[in-house]
């Protein structure tokens, strides 16, 4: 559903997929996304899915956080936002979707086209007699 990718620091390149909410971001063992960088609190921020609003990030009281280089306390996150937590930069993205296999449908369509073509050839042969 959602991806968080750490862009800077010791964990640069780490990609984490959120599958349930709320998502707790911090350094502590209870955090869903653990960020081991300077300036990151044990419980730094939290992302909730709120119906009608989308993904909302709330910062723990007293903690500092910025989204797209603007300090925030609460913000609705959008695809591509860059979150700065302590000295770490994290990209917020919608995760890639997996397309369902369409082989059976495609086979049915091609067989239908082949059947119609054969039917037309038979009809043309019958009309030319």
Give pLDDT tens digits for 11-35. Answer: 999 999 998 999 999 999 999 999 9
Tens of pLDDT, residue by residue over 83-116, are 999 999 999 999 887 888 889 999 999 999 999 9
Q: Which residues pair with 23 in a beta bridge?
A: 47
Tens of pLDDT, residue by residue over 32-78, are 999 999 999 999 999 999 999 999 999 999 999 999 999 999 999 99
d(CA 111, CA 54): 43
pLDDT score for 1: 77
pLDDT score for 129: 86
Domains of the chain: 2-94 (2.60.200.20)
Q: Where are the alpha helices (DSSP H) in the chain?
A: 103-128
d(CA 96, CA 117): 39
109 and 64 Cβ atoms separated by less than 8 Å: no
d(CA 28, CA 98): 32
CB within 8 A of 83, min separation 6: which ones? 4, 45, 57, 65, 66, 67, 77, 89, 90, 91, 92
Three-state DSSP string of 116-128: HHHHHHHHHHHHH
Res 123 pLDDT > 90: yes
Q: What's the whole-model pTM score?
A: 0.72
């Amino acid at each position: 559903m959602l991806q968080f990718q750490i862009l800077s620091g010791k964990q640069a390149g780490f990609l984490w997929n959120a599958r349930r909410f709320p998502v707790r971001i911090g350094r502590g063992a209870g955090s869903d996304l653990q960020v081991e960088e300077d300036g990151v609190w044990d419980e730094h921020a939290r992302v909730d899915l709120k119906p009608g609003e989308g993904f909302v990030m709330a910062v723990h009281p007293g903690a500092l956080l910025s989204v797209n280089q603007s300090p925030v306390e609460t913000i609705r996150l959008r695809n591509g936002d860059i979150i700065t937590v302590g000295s770490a930069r994290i990209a917020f993205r919608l995760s890639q979707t997996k397309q369902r296999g369409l082989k059976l449908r495609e086979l049915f369509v091609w067989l239908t086209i082949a059947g119609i073509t054969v039917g037309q050839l038979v009809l043309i042969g019958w009309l030319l007699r």
